[in-house]
Amino acid sequence: WNNFAATTPVEIAHNQMVGTLLQWKSKGMPFPGSNPYGGQGNVGLSALAMMGARSDYLGFPDLLDALCPDFKTIDWAAVAKADRRIVVGAIEVLSGNFEVFDSNKTLEELGLLASKPKVNQYDDIRWRMRRAISLEGVAASGTLPEILPAQVIGNTMFPTCEPDKVVTRNAYYWDGLYSQNPPVRNLLDVGTKAEKPDEIWVVRINPQEISPQSQKVSLEDIKDRENDLAGNVSLNQELDHILTINRWIAEHGNSHPPLKGRKIVEVRTIKMRRETAWGLQHTSKFDRSAGHFAKLREEGKAVAEQWLADWRAGGKDFASYPNDARYPEPA
């Protein structure tokens, strides 16, 4: 976040200008639409760079290279031994596929994964592809189409309408929010029961609920709430499926098909304080000032410390989804 924040004079001025324009737009002042594929965008980025904006402020590729300089030399055998996993989601624009960039897929391709998935993704689950984790994949998961051009990843295989036949082409990715981001399902699509998580902790940045007094009436506020709902509705569907399986196991056990190999997985929510979640305007998502980041980071640290202390003290009785996704009713 320190790299991503506006720190040089030109970055600070640019961030303030963007914030002001967004505020004016939210109040109804007309502005021409922006096109991430338009030439003026590249001209603007070049001008900012000439005036002193850092390359890792201006785009994902240099930002990720700066944050992960040793990615190409990762010891994947050590990752497999440590049993660590990262998954990020994106949408492939042309196929409409939801795709996951998965460190387990990397281990699988390197022959380091002990238990491989039992499905052929090109025939069995053609709308849900797994790809090896990459910095380009991480960038794809954060590519908002109204702001950035689609993230391009070359030499990518896709299924066709014919079994056992694939095509190879450039892939074009947008943020996976439209379908599944975070990709919870993939945390459970593993080879053995022991590999399934005991608990899933969801860190919500888009509030499930908003203040009844907030009266989302401006077009920009409506779009912002649509963004909240787009992410939360798809996420909740996946979490609700986990709760359904939990109920079936509690009622029928898991020693026989189709529940054999499944386990009860607790789902819990970590969220901002209500005053913060309900007080932030949609323009805050575009605010890259160091002070804004510091404030959110400090609150996040305090909330996480308290949440972990309560979780350790509460054990199995600690609050869980769906109730903990809501805020308590005001006194």
**Per-residue pLDDT at 179:** 66
**Per-residue pLDDT at 38:** 80
**Per-residue pLDDT at 47:** 92
**pLDDT tens-place string over residues 168-208:** 999 999 998 766 778 898 898 887 888 899 999 999 988 88
For residues 288 and 4, the answer to whether their CB atoms sit within 8 Å is: yes
**Per-residue pLDDT at 214:** 62
Q: In 3-state terms, the chain is what percent helix, strand and coil (to 5)?
A: 45, 15, 40
Say how many residues make up the chain. Answer: 331
Distance between CA atoms of residues 60 and 67, nearest Å: 10
**Per-residue pLDDT at 178:** 66
Stretches where the chain sits below pLDDT 70 are 32-33, 178-179, 214-217, 331
CA angle 69, 72, 74 (to 5 degrees): 95
